Structures are given as C-alpha cells and as structure tokens.
Amino acid sequence: MPAPAGVFGPYLAGRLASNESDAAAAADALLAALAAEPDEPEILSRAFSAAVMDGRLDAVRLARRLPESQLAAMLLAGTDAQAGRWERAEARIRGLPRQGSAQILQPLLLAWTQAGRGSADAALATLHPFIETGPLRAVAALHGAMIADLAGRGREAERLIRIAVAQSGEPNLRLTTIAAGILARAGREADGARLFDAMAVGSDDIALTAGPAQRRAALSGRAVASPVEGMAEAQVALGATLRRQGAPELSLILARLSLRLRPGFAPALILAAESLADERHVASALAVLESVGEDDPMAPLAWLRRAALLSRVDRSEEAVALLGRMAEAYSRAPQPAVALGDIFRAKGQPDQAAAAYGLAIGRLGQPGPADWPLFYARGIVRELAGDWAGAEADLRQALTLSPEQPSVLNHLAYAWVERGERLDEARGMLERAAAARPQDGNIADSLGWALFRTGDLAGAIRWLERAAELESRSAVINDHLGDAYWAAGRRAEARFQWRRALGMELEASEAERVEAKLRDGLPSATALR
C-alpha cells in the first residue's frame, strides 16, 4: 500500500509519533506537514506542541501564530521576560485562565513578572493570599521568600522561607538549597547548615549531594539569581508535581519551558529525563541526563538516574561501572552502593547484591529508623544466597530500627513458618502485619499459611480465601488454599485450586510438586513443605 501523498503522510506520522510520546519524531513530521500546509490550524497547533516538547527553536515562531493557546502565552511571556519586556510578559500572564495547571502557575509567574519590572511590593501582594492559607501555601511562601531575598528584604525573606519549610510535605533538595542560602543572608547561617542536616535524614538526594562544598555554595550564593530564573523555578516545580500525579507529558512541556528560560538548569534536565523515561523513551532520557554538567551540585543525582536507566535497558555493565566510580568518588555516601545492590538483586546475583548492600551499611554510621529498608534488602538477598543466619540477623535489625514495618514482619515470620520455627511468634507478627495492611494479599496468605501450619484449619481457610480474593493470579496463594481445602476434606475444591496454580507462573520444581498433589493428594494435613 503506497504511503499517503502530500501533507497527509507527515501529518499521520506526526500524530502516530505524538501518540507514542516520541517528541523528536513528532516534531520532525509535523513541522514537515506544516511546511506543506502552513495555514492549517490543526497542524499548526500540533506542530507547536511537538516543537515545545522537543525543545525546538521553531516553537517561538509558531507561538506567535497561536493567540488563544495558554502554552504559547507562557512561552512568549518567557521570551518577553528574557528580553526585559516585563510589562508585556505580565500582560500575557494575566491573560492566562485560572483553571487547571495554570491555576497554580499563574500567580507565581505573575509575581515574578512584577518583580522583574521592579515592584517587589506588588509581587508579594500577589502571593499574599496564597501564603496565608490554602494548598499553595508552601510553594507561594517559597517564591515569596526568593522575591524578598532578591529585593534585599532579608527579614521578610527569612519569615517566608520558614513558612515554606514548615509547610513542605517531605524533604526536598531544591527547597533545602534555596532555604539555606536565604537563612544565611538573613544572618542565620547556622540555621541554614542545620537545615541540611535535618532534611538529609529523610532524603537520599540531599544526603548524597549536600557535601561540604555544596553546602558552602548554597550558603554563600543565590540558587535563584533573577526573576527570569524564578519563572524557570516555578515551571519546573509544577512539572515535578504533575509528574508525581501521572502526567509525564505535561511535566515534560514545563521542563522544556523552564530550560528555555534557564539553559542547563539541572532540576529541569532531570525532570525532562524522568518524564521521557516515564513514556519509555529511555535513549532520549539518557541523552538529556548527559547534559547535566559534571560540576553541577545535582550531577550525582543525574548519575544515579542514568545508572537506573542503563540497567533498565539491559546495559547493566555500564550501570555497574558508573556506580562503582560513584562509590569511590563519594566514599562516605551509601547511595551508589545501594543502587549497585539493587542492580545485582534484579540480575539474580544475591552474593554480589549482599556485598554491595553491606558496603552501603558500612557507610551509615549509626543506623536510624529510616535505614530499615537497607537491612531488609540485604536480608532478602542473603536468604536467596543461602545465608539464613545472616538474613535473619538483618531482618531482626530492620525490625529493631522500625518495629512495625508490615513488609519485614511478613517476610521474617513467613520464613519462620516455612522453616517450622517460632510458629506462635510468627503468627503474632503476621496478625500485626495484616492489621496494618488489610488489603495486602501476600500478608493475608502468610497469616493463613501460619494458621494452617499450626492446625487452625478454619482460620487458615478464612485468611487464604481472603488472600485469593486480593491476589487471584498468585500461584503460591492458590496452591496454599488448595492444601487447606484438602486438609479440611474439601477434595474437589482443593484440586480446583491446584489446577489454577498450575495455570500460572511456577518454577519447574514447584510445578512438579503441585502435579504430584493432583495425582496423589496431600500426604498429611500438617505436612511440612
């Protein structure tokens, strides 16, 4: 069948590429279609969107032909701001409708355009209602603090940044960097340094990148040095929020807009790469991450993201080499070693994974409650490697650090049940785990299996049926339920569950064991497996 002639071929190719979230191919095809049919509104709109997403210079030219487009207005407002045309930029931002994502971004951008034309009072007045109350309080206070800081109003900047830190939901490297600098310029340098320490406890990103040199740079310089950079900050912050909410295409657009205002801005580059990776464009994501400068404070984060993506596309050797270099360069940081352990674990190399996790644990200093996942991870791979004593010790340590973690309670207790050890203690642990996560089918299965092994058939069946409802495609759960039915004399139902298990993914040895039960039945109601 011949390809469509004229404009239709590139237009259809562009639509297909857009549907596949392939921004580069979409931009190439749609710009070609627009060249063939320059006055077609549909093609113009789609070509513009693709050009923005791929970071093309054509986007500004096309934006001028789209007076009704919100995206075009934001792009042109940024262009005006870069040229110092602040009144025009402000007019464009005021024209944005206060709905959708623009409802969040519009007041922030408006405040920055007002700051750009020299009116910090107007900018702070614009943000004031959002700072006082509502869901935007943290981000509005952050931008208000940066505007006050640029205007030399240190006391006001300090007040606002403290609101932003207090209202933020979780530790954030960018917030910490900005806040530390503002506090230092307000005469509170010790508070800024302590903020790094406090935030690093709950954030691997901050712990990895907040070394002495990075702290000195944050305390002595401005993370946002102009209103144009402030606009870029607002766009990338909203983009990160939208990505967390499952909108990678919108987050990519905002990252690209941010990069137009601030080329090489590492947070925007990392956001763009993560958004591309979310849409399965790993090669493009890797290319974007290569743009992060080696001397940028956020370079270690870009390298970690790069290693994860390399592993994802079966380039594990490159990922391991990169992480090995990082582990040497950041000799006190556990994060590169943790990432190495994760790669070895995914590759089915438990001994190497355990060694990597051990290296990370050795760099912790005094382990705290936030470190339980690392001991849990090493416990899992030690068990896979046949080192049950080491695995049990790690799982116990994870529970010492965080006593009610359902995943750890479940794993350790189930291991004891399978080994025929500490059955009463295991049952109690699993009851606590099930109470904490009532919708977790694997925990329900573990509790049901513990009850089966201790002879409580009625309780076992109740929990195993619950587990099968929650995780109907689990071969292990269906197998366990079959055993409980057989022990209760419900032979037809037992064979039905075993047949279901055989129709699911099972290792060869497990499949043989289930087939033997279908043929011969279960030897004993309490037989150890």
Spatial CA neighbour of 341 closest among 326, 353, 327: 353
Residues of the chain with CATH 1.25.40.10: 314-386, 433-520
Dump the DSSP string for 58-122: HHHHHHTT-TT-HHHHHHHHHHHHHTT-HHHHHHHHHTS-SSTTHHHHHHHHHHHHHHHTT-HHH
Architecture, CATH, for domain 314-386: Alpha Horseshoe (1.25)
Please give the pLDDT value at position 526.
44
pLDDT digits (tens, 9 = 90+) for 450-505: 999 999 999 999 999 999 999 999 999 999 999 999 999 999 999 999 999 998 88
Read off the pTM.
0.82
The residue type of 424 is D
Please give the pLDDT value at position 1.
41
Does the pLDDT at position 21 exceed 80?
no
| Yes or no: domain 433-520 corresponds to CATH 1.25.40.10 | yes
For residues 362 and 355, give the distance between their C-alpha atoms in angstroms, rounded to a whole number: 10
Please give the pLDDT value at position 365.
82
Report the pLDDT averaged over residues 258-265.
94
Cβ distance 374 to 406 under 8 Å? no
Cβ distance 158 to 186 under 8 Å? yes
Cβ distance 413 to 426 under 8 Å? yes
For residues 159 and 178, give the distance between their C-alpha atoms in angstroms, rounded to a whole number: 14
DSSP code, position 201: T
Please give the pLDDT value at position 493.
95
Please give the pLDDT value at position 2.
47
Which of the four pLDDT bands, split at 50, 70 and 90, describes residue 203? Answer: low
Least confident of 199-213, 214-228, 308-322, 493-507: 199-213
Does the pLDDT at position 236 exceed 90?
yes
